Chains A and B, each alone.
Chain A
Amino acid sequence: MNDAAAIHTQGLTKTFRGGQVAVDHLELKVPSGSVFGFLGPNGSGKTTTIRMLMGLIEPTSGTARVLGRPMPRSARTVLPHVGALIEGPALYGFLSGRDNLLRYDSADRAADPRTRRTRVAAALDRVGLSAAAGKKAKAYSLGMKQRLGLAAALLQPRRLLVLDEPTNGLDPQGMREIRALVRELASEGTTVFLSSHLLDEIEQVCTHAAVMAQGRLIIQGPVSELAAGARGRLVVTTPDAADAARVLKEQGIADVVVAAGEGRGQGEGDRVTGEPPPPDRDLAELNVALVTAGVRVRGFGLERASLEDAFVALTGEGFDVAG
């Protein structure tokens, strides 16, 4: 019964009134101790999934286990170990940041009232809000609200953190801080379940990832494997694009594409890309062939596939397109 998964769903399905299937037989497995990236275009069912995991929405069918226990039935015993930021922060605007946290903490029946003030102060400190703790929450900027929401998730030591778009509204510096915080928490042993639309963010902090589209799980696994699934590209930067493309085709390179002007970053020239040659082929030979044909090569090499390439390959669409 206890698998080492922090989150494990089986056939999890939610059909809303009106017959719209928001989540369709989801089989999600989040290993304990992982930083798990949950990806998908808007409307792909990520938030509905998170709400079901948190016991806010009753699944139509299927089961969800969080920290080894069934949800929503065990909400009372599971949720004190879970910190959550769901669809952005929600605050009492007329209360100060500190009072907001005091309220959320008093809602947790497992929280000790004797340590409440210390824990609130520590959480505020951790997200860098100590100086603004006495300010009314309605005067907070979006980034500050986001931080306060995070602080609410960190009021107790947690075994699982569910963070829905945690860097929304933050400036680059704030994003870096949140990423550092996520890494720190993960190193302490907290499992972090992170939904984001920023692929490079997922790539930077996550060990595992899952991709959803139209309510279905497309793929899940370690980030390294996911990115490896998409093949890289052979890239040649040159002012003689036409010749280069011809030579590459002659050498048996498939899917040769010329992108005019894109090579300017590496000096004057165009970018010619193609599928990488088979592994037994020496890349240097290709380069020799280009040079002997009189192509002036300014840049030559293989570009590793990014998660974004993998994502586009999987969903067959741009990332921000609503599903």
Chain B
Amino acid sequence: MSRVETNGVEATATDVATAEAASPAARTPGFLWTFGLFRSELVTTFRRWRTIALLAVLAAVPVLVGIAVRIETGDGSSMGGGPGGGGGGGGPAFIAQITNNGLFLVFTALAATLPFFLPMAVGVIAGDAIAGEANAGTLRYLLVAPAGRTRLLLVKYAATMTFCLVATLVVAASALAVGALLFPLGDLTTISGTSISFAEGLLRALLIALAVAASLIGIAALGLFVSTLTNSGIAAMATTVGLLITVQILDQIPQLDALHPYFFSHYWLSFADLMREPVYWDDLQRNLGLQAVYAAVFGAAAWARFTAKDIAS
């Protein structure tokens, strides 16, 4: 590069005072400069084949559900355990209403993917966030750049949260498109039996998507923490997804009733309450509170671990 620049820096080299004077400039880089790493992180995440494949699988779920329901049309009277009740015996919540209104496919698809597909995808991305970079050796170069450990962890957090939102929106958008293609659209009936307009229904769908995305914060925080513990991306992903499955199973065991409210997945299906009239907020708030606690606890743990870790890979 240019000699002039090099010499300019070299001139200050022997002078500590100048180096110190130069450091505040490095310390106040402004929002854009930090945003640069976040944007780079997003580009890196979403250009990976694995991310694209995960999103493709998620987008395929509403297509499969939509086609299955379409084929079974006429048999749509099996109301099962009732909509919004957690999707018990009769398939995912809202599945019976899809034939009446394609918008319900959005709710059904989110209810179908929330227990496993969505958190699994988030677990893969979160688990790989730090451990994958450590495994590839790129972590040492990011830190030597220097990215700053706290800053890098925050960026990884933000990117993982963005993935939660994007993944949920992919499911919702795919479901909306399939629903519109295969089924009639129009005014819809809430769980409480009242009727709302299609526009209002779309708004509710968006709110539900946001609630679902927020539901994934807990597992994302957990995955990032696990990711700081190991240098193997695969191990971190497997552990996170393993924890997800374990918690899901434990949540079904009645004897552990006392513990259930502390499981990150316990209030996941509360998003259905957004389809009540009026909206029933209690469980939604409990869910958000619980996710916030997970984010705080495991975020702090990840920070404590990552900032003190020897990077030997």
Q: Name A residues whose Cβ lies closer than 8 Å to a Cβ of B.
A: 1-2, 4, 32, 51, 54-58, 67-69, 75-77, 79-82, 84, 86-88, 90-92, 94-95, 99, 102-113, 116, 119, 122-123, 126, 152, 154, 157-159, 188-190
A68-B26 in contact (CB<8A): no
Within 8 A of A (CB), among B269-303: none
A77-B23 contact, Cβ under 8 Å, with A103-B40, A113-B33? yes
CA distance A56 to B145 in the complex (A): 11
Taken residue by residue from 23 to 66, chain B's Cβ proximity to chain A (1 for < 8 Å, 0 otherwise) reads as 10111010011101101100110011100000000000000000
CA distance A286 to B208 in the complex (A): 98
Known pairs A77-B26, A80-B146, A88-B137. 10 more at Cβ < 8 A? Answer: A51-B311, A91-B136, A103-B40, A104-B141, A107-B147, A110-B29, A122-B1, A126-B1, A188-B3, A189-B13
A90-B143 in contact (CB<8A): no
A56-B23 in contact (CB<8A): no
The residue on A at minimum CB distance from B138 is: A90
> Which chain B positions have C-beta within 8 A of A103?
40, 43-44
CA distance A102 to B44 in the complex (A): 11
Q: Name B residues whose Cβ lies closer than 8 Å to a Cβ of A.
A: 1-3, 5-10, 13-14, 16, 19-20, 23, 25-27, 29, 32-34, 36-37, 39-40, 43-44, 47-49, 136-138, 140-148, 151-152, 308, 310-312
A75-B146 in contact (CB<8A): yes
B216 to chain A, nearest CB (A): 25
CA distance A32 to B311 in the complex (A): 27
Select one of A77, A82, A88 contacting B144, CB under 8 A.
A82
The residue on B at minimum CB distance from A84 is: B144
Select one of B16, B34, B311 contacting A56, CB under 8 A.
B311
A90-B10 contact, Cβ under 8 Å, with A110-B29, A113-B36, A119-B1? no
A106-B141 contact, Cβ under 8 Å, with A32-B14, A159-B10, A188-B3? no
A107-B152 in contact (CB<8A): yes
Select one of B3, B25, B36, B140 contacting A90, CB under 8 A.
B140
Select one of B7, B27, B47, B145 contacting A108, CB under 8 A.
B145
Subset of 28 A-B contacts with CB under 8 Å = A1-B16, A4-B14, A32-B13, A51-B140, A51-B311, A55-B144, A68-B16, A79-B146, A86-B140, A86-B141, A88-B137, A91-B138, A103-B40, A104-B141, A106-B36, A107-B145, A107-B152, A109-B37, A109-B147, A109-B151, A126-B1, A154-B1, A157-B9, A159-B9, A159-B10, A188-B6, A188-B7, A190-B6
